[in-house]
Amino acid sequence: MVPTSENGSPPVYREIAEELRGQIRSGRYADGDRLPGENALMQRHGVARATARQALSVLINEGLAVAVRGSGVYVRLFRPVRRHGARRLSKELWGDGRAIWETDAEDREYEVDRLRVDEAVPDEHVARALELAEGAGVVRRSRRYLVDGRPVQSAVSHVPLGVLEGAGDAAAALSIRAHDSGPGGIYARLAELGQAPAHFTEEVRVRMPTPEENEELELSAGTPVLEVARTALTAEHRPVEFNEITMDGSAYVLRYDFEA
């Protein structure tokens, strides 16, 4: 039975969590500070260990704290990454040789790791999005993004081999196959191939992560992910890239601007 306060008020563990949450937001506990442990909370509030543990779990599940095995629970404050859907994909950005990630990270430190590039016959849903014939292959680019040292996103891009084979600009085609795709990334290289993206479509859904995603993004328990499926199309509406993006749901704010 969950311990409750008097007069039907919220359970005691939620009251303890609220108190700690307020102390974090007020600055009493700063990023990286160790929070009171189970023993301290038991003594301070006169509760059982299970209640103290539940209180700390609330903050961990909210992304405000992280448990370090054998050490304790620490404040983990993280300024959300503001992802501006339209601005980050503008031709003005990648056409000028800049990375689309510049709009997300702003003045913060970001890096890309676990970059893998290979060729593959894609899954059916990818082939369908790219309007590929049966058995047609793609160049697949997988990577993970970190902001301020924290993993926030993984992405897998798929570019049809048919876009690259026999291309007039061999250097651009090779760059898409290379680890370093060059200034402006693959969208700038596609433009050099005469296949510049002119339209983008994105579908966003929220779900719970797989065990592999939990490990790759180092997610706290109970953290959902944002799954974004983006297709890049030319002016003739030919799909030239399909990107599957998985984002830490606690790390992002998605921004979209619309005209009335």
pLDDT in tens, 16-64: 999 999 999 898 998 889 999 999 999 999 999 999 999 999 998 887 8
- The whole-number pLDDT of residue 5 equals 54
Q: Please, where in the chain does CATH 3.40.1410.10 lie?
A: 81-255
- The whole-number pLDDT of residue 203 equals 95
In angstroms, the Cα distances linking 146 to 104, 117, 216 are 11, 19, 11
- The whole-number pLDDT of residue 122 equals 95
Residue 40 in 3-state DSSP? helix
Question: CATH number of 81-255: 2.120.10.80, 3.90.1150.10, 1.10.260.40, 3.40.1410.10?
Answer: 3.40.1410.10
Q: What fold, for 6-75?
A: Arc Repressor Mutant, subunit A (1.10.10)
Task: Report which residue type is found at 93.
Answer: L
Mean pLDDT, the chain cut into blocks of 10 residues (260 residues total): 54 94 91 91 94 92 83 84 79 78 77 94 96 95 92 95 80 87 90 92 95 91 90 96 94 82
